[in-house]
Structure formats: C-alpha cells, structure tokens
Structure 1
Amino acid sequence: MSDNIRVLLVDDQELVRYGFRLILEANPEMIVVGEASDGMQAINAVRRLQPDVVLMDIRMPGVGGIEATKSIIGFHPDTRVLVVTTYDLDEYAFGALDAGASGFLLKDTRPNDLVAAVRAVHSGDAVVSPRITAKLIQVAAPHLLVRAAVDAGEALSELTAREREIFVLMARGETNSEIAAALYLSESTVKANVGRVLSKLNLRNRVEAVIRAYEIGVVGH
C-alpha cells in the first residue's frame, strides 16, 4: 500500500483550489488526484479516483458540500472528508457533522495547519478549528442529537481516570498526537482510549464529544 495521501479538492472557486494544491503538493507524501467545482462532480470524482481525503467546500452551486459529504461517506466509508468553510458563523458547515465529516477548518487556516489536518484525518483522527469549536457549541449543539444512552453522570462514572483525562483534552480540540505528547503516551494508546471514551459515552465521533463535554460541564464555554 502506498504511503501517499491522495487528496481531492472540492471548491467552486478555481483560485482556492489552486492555492490548496500548491500548499498540499509542497509535501512529498501528498498527491492531489483531482478537483471538483460542485458536489455532484465531487461524488463522481470520488468513485473514479478513490481519494483518501476530500477537502470539501460547503456553499457551492447545485449539490452542496453537506449533501455530497453524506453521499461520499455512505458509499465510500473509508474516505475522509475535511470540511473547509469561509465563515465561523456558517452553520451549514456544522450540518456536515451528521453527514460524517471528519473535521472542520476555516479557509484562513495557516498552510502548516491545513497540511497537519489532512494528515490527521487520514490517520483516523478528527480536526476542529479552535474558532469553530465555540460556534459549534453555540450553533450546532441545539440541532445535533448527541445520542447518549445513559445519564451523563452515570456515563462519566464508567470512564477510568485516564479516559477522563483524554476526554477533557478531546473536548479542548486536541488531536491524538497532541494528547499523546501531553500525557506521555503513544498515539496508538491514545487512539484506543479515544475509542473507548466514544463507546462508553455513546458518541459517534470526536466532534460530538466536544459538544457533550460542554453540555455536561466537563469543560467551560
């Protein structure tokens, strides 16, 4: 299996796609395998090109990013979608959470952070821009169903001390590598603990974990 990360760029602005291509292809392990200017083109391109990561805009003519993300994840569950949006107030971006997106970034993200985010979602991690996190709590939480099977206090009591530590760091938007560095653990150990936290709290992904943490006061607003 190739170590290269195959990326599909989806944005209705050619200049944006060009900029992303320059940033990503400056890294030898990343290959931009194609581009699309709307959601339907993206769906067809994923089927044809089988990228590892899709950099997905939200507001596009015709089929938008949320619908495209839902279709892509539904038919190609191993493909990771990283949503990139212009405004931190763009609540449409948060709808991509239910569609299965692995993360959210703003278009003013620094190049190095964009590259790191692509690497992170490719490895199975999730990424949420710090500026989006606050809006995600404010805007998205009332509209998303965080499917908790038991009362929050009861669920948290099932977490080990280590899992609680990791839950707090997840809620602050830390990636697996950042958590590993903070707790002096291997990334594989962190990944295993993250999986157990999500399972015990009946959460689908790390973004729901952020919302849940704010809801129950594990971290403050």
Structure 2
Amino acid sequence: ELEGLENTIDDAYAELRSLITDFRAPIDDDGIGLPETPPGPDPVTGEHIGMNIMQERAAKLNGELQYESDPDEGGTLIQLSFDMPRLEDLLKRRGIEVIEAVGSGEEGIKKVAELQPDIVLLDMRMPQMDGLMVLRQLRKNHPALKVVMLTTSTNDHDLLEALRAGARGYLLKDIEPDELVLAIREILAGKTVVAPELSSVLARFIQGEDGELQEDKSANPFSALTPREYEILTLLAEGQSNKVIARNLGISDGTVKLHVKAILRKLNVSSRITAAVMAVEHGIRASASNDS
C-alpha cells in the first residue's frame, strides 16, 4: 500500500490552481472630476501622469481601469459653525466632507479664513457673536462665500435679515438629510433656498402684507437704477420669474438676466429674493412710477 501511494505521488500529474475570476479595488476621490475621456499625460506640467500609470499597471495584470466622474465637479467642503456630530455624520454618509465643526462665531470666522470651505452652515444662535453678526463678517471678508443659515428660528425678522445680509439659504434644523444635501447642491449651483415652512413668510413681505421691517424711505438706494432696471425690479417684487418678466415686457430672457445682474450689483445684494424683499420694504410696487 505504501509503495502504491509513493508511485501515485511520483507519477501523477497533479497541479495547484489558484483562480481569481474578479478583483476590484474601488477608490473614492473628492478632487475635480475628469472628463469622459481622460487627457493623456503632460510631460511638461506632469499633470495626468497618475491616471496613465494606473492604466498601464492594470493592463499588465490583464485588467482595466474604470472610473465614474462628474466632469469639472469637485468635492464639497463644508464648515459647520456649530457642533452637531449627528449632522456631520449624515453629511459624510452622503458624500459631503465636513472639514470643521466649531462652537462659536469667532472660531468660525477664523476657520473659514484658514480652511476656505465651499460653503458654511451657520446657526442663528451662537455664543459670543450671533449668527447675523458672523454672517455679515464672513460676507465682508469673503464676498464669494456661500453661507447657509441652518437654525431652529422661524422668526420673520431673522429670515429677512439673513437674506438681506447675503445668506444664500435659510433652512431649519429638522430638515431631512437628503433634502439638506439637495439644498446644498442647489445653493452651490447659484440658487437661493428658503425652508418651505417659511415660504409664506417670504410671500407676505413680497406681496407687501406685513410692514414689520420698514426702513427710512428718505434714503433711496434705487437711484442708480435705469428706468428699465427699476421697472424689472418692480416685477421682481411681485415674484415674477425671468420668463414672465420677459413676456410682459416683450424682451428676451437673456436681456432680463442681464438687467437682473445689474440690479443686484447696484443694490449690493446677492440674490433676486433679497432685491425683491428690499424693494417691498421701500414701498416699490409694479404700479409705482420711477421717481429716481
């Protein structure tokens, strides 16, 4: 029996096989997205060499390099000007990197200068400096920075003051995580977003039904507007969209957009909503004539 076993070991054609049918190594990157066809390596600048090297290595292993990307879209870096670990975790799970969470307004201002986030989520109620003070300082130091008020305050005054100070969003803390992420994306795309629960508040001011925030009307911030710009501003105050304004005035959408940009620049505001609120607070109506 032993001799038979030895003969089997000596004469049998046995081999060990290791079969790998599929091997994947996913890598996430929060940098700027590549186009559908990645550019070749640039020997002068050294750019894009890494992708070329990875493709060569994959080919040597009879594999291939695949990637999914949103062209020209980078990662979203957020600073939370309050300490909410649960919110921070929810945002990270949805692909948004929270680079800092701070506990005071002064600390938030310093960290923005240091970290240069894409967007800041700011509370209205903070120690040392309230949210509006922090917002005004951030807008002064970083005019292009997008700041979103994320708060429990449903106070009408807080909402309008935040928009007038340059906030690009006013959201409530009980917002669903997916809705918050969507709002952040829209704000980064240039829109102004207000919590649906507060839309009626905004509508009251746009329609002029509430006079709580009336200012001294002797000052005329609209004197620099042309007659056409003033006319368009009155229509903005009615809540009309660019398309509706274009149709009513018999001009193109593009022309309306140019006028709106000029209005925002001359009024030193960041959104059409802020301009509309400002107009209503100064008593401007579509039926009013241009006294400027």
- Counterpart in the other structure of 1:119: 185
Where does 1:1-221 land on structure 2 (aligned, <5 Å)? Answer: 2=32, 3-11=74-82, 14=83, 17-28=84-95, 30-89=96-155, 91-136=157-202, 137=205, 138=210, 141-142=213-214, 147-149=221-223, 155=229, 157=231, 168-169=240-241, 194=257, 196-200=259-263, 203=267, 204=269, 205-211=271-277, 212=279
- 2:272 and 2:196 map into 1 onto residues whose CA distance is 14
Report the AA paired with residue 116 of structure 1: L
Please say which of residues 95-104 and 139-148 is displaced more in the overlay. Answer: 139-148
Q: Give the whole-Å Cα distance in 2 for the aligned partners of 1:88 and 1:5.
A: 27
**How large is the Cα RMSD of the aligned pairs?**
3.8
Alpha-carbon distance between aligned partners in 2 of 1:155 and 1:141, rounded to the nearest angstrom: 24
Which of the two has higher C-alpha Rg?
2
Distance 1:49 1:154, change over 3 A: closer
Q: Which amino acid is 1:36 matched to?
A: V
Conserved 8 A contact 2:260-2:272: no
From the superposition, tell whether residues 195 and 87 of structure 1 become closer, same or farther in structure 2 (CA, over 3 Å).
Answer: farther
Distance (Å, rounded) in 2 between the aligned partners of 1:192 and 1:73: 28
Partners of 1:146 and 1:120 in 2: how far apart?
32
Q: Structure 1 residues 193, 121: closer, same or farther in 2, change over 3 A?
A: farther
Q: For structure 1, which segment, 103-112 or 138-147, has the greater mean C-alpha deviation from structure 2 after superposition?
A: 138-147
Q: Deviations over 1:189-221 (max 9, x none)?
A: 989954532524755222224424796567xxx
The one of the two structures with greater contact order (alpha-carbon pairs below 8 A, sep at least 6) is 1
Structure 2 unaligned blocks of 5 or more = 1-30, 33-73, 244-251, 287-292
Please say if residues 94 and 140 of structure 1, whose CA atoms lie closer than 8 Å, have aligned partners that are also in contact. Answer: no
Q: Once the 2 structures are TM-superposed, how far is the Cα of residue 77 of structure 1 from its aligned partner? A: 1.8
Cα distance in 2 between the residues matched to 1:146 and 1:118: 34
Aligned AA (2:222): A
Displacement, 1:78?
2.2
Q: Is the 8 A contact 2:79 2:119 kept in 1?
A: yes
- The farther-off stretch of 84-93 and 33-42 is 84-93
**Sequence identity of aligned pairs in percent?**
26
Distance 1:46 1:213 in 2: 33
- State the number of aligned residues: 193
Q: Work out the CA distance in 1 between the residues paired with 2:75 and 2:254.
A: 22
Write out per-residue CA displacement over residues 20-76 of structure 1, whole angstroms, 9 at most, x where no aligned residue: 212321222x21000111110110110111101000001111111111111111111
Structure having the larger proportion of residues in helix: 1
**Farther-moved stretch of structure 1 (197-206 vs 64-73):** 197-206
Distance of 2:132 and 2:212 partners within structure 1? 14
> 2:170 & 2:182 partners in 1: Cα distance?
13
Structure 1 stretches lacking a partner, 5+ long: 171-178, 180-188
